[in-house]
Amino acid sequence: MTASTDKDPGTPERAEAWLASGHLRPTRQRLALARLLVGDGRNRHVTAESLHEAAGLAEMPVSLATVYNTLRAFCDAGLMHEITVDGTRSYFDTRIDDHTHYFWEDEGRLTDAPNDAIRLAAPPDIPANATLARIDVVIRLRKATPEAIPEDR
């Protein structure tokens, strides 16, 4: 697709500003991960594992434990959101406004859905003495191909 693959881990400036906006110290590892996440200004949906691998491929290796700790720090700082769709892994999203997701069950991939995918009737019937924290909408998709099933996992 659009460049920013392989050799381009994104501009450091954006990553630095991003960290600063979360009041997080710009350590080498955090900068590396931040560049991979927001360096090109686009949104990412990663798992700890996928980000760890991406860091290695970009020749900025970061230990898996640090990836976990850092993703948690980013979430605590309000820079990312954790999304639970799979039960076996957590996904982390750089886009922090409420929006709908597609979850591709065959590949375990999470992507953004178009903005108008779902319309809410209204902030609905929030029970008394409760506050709305978030609304998670996940549209689960399966490959429609009659043949072409890769494995049966």
Which residues here bind DNA, judged by CB under 7 A? 24-30, 47-49, 61-66, 68-70, 72-73, 87-90
- 56: number of CA atoms within 13 Å, CB side? 10
- Which backbone phi and psi does 102 adopt, to 5 degrees? -95, 135
At residue 91, the 3 state secondary structure works out as strand
Under 8 Å CB-to-CB from 57, ≥6 apart: which residues? 6
Nearer to its own copies (CB atom), residue 3 or residue 121: 121
Contact between 20 and its own copies per CB under 8 A: no
Helix (H) or strand (E) holding 66: helix 64-76
Site map for its own copies, 59-98, x if CB under 8 A? -----------------------x-xxxx--x--------
Rounded least distance, CB 64 to DNA, Å: 6
Using DSSP's 3-state secondary structure scheme, residue 93 falls into strand
Shortest distance (Å) from residue 69 CB to DNA? 5
**CB of residue 152 to DNA, shortest distance in Å:** 13
Cα torsion 127, 77, 15, 64: sign: negative
Question: Is position 131 an interface residue for its own copies (rule: CB under 8 A)?
Answer: yes
- Decide if residue 150 touches its own copies (CB under 8 A): no
Residue 109: in which H helix or E strand, if any? strand 109-112
Q: Which is nearer to DNA, 118 or 136 (CB)?
A: 136
- Near its own copies by CB under 8 A: residue from 20, 57, 139, 149: 139
What residues form DSSP beta bridges with 112? Answer: 101
Nearer to DNA, 60 or 141 (CB): 60
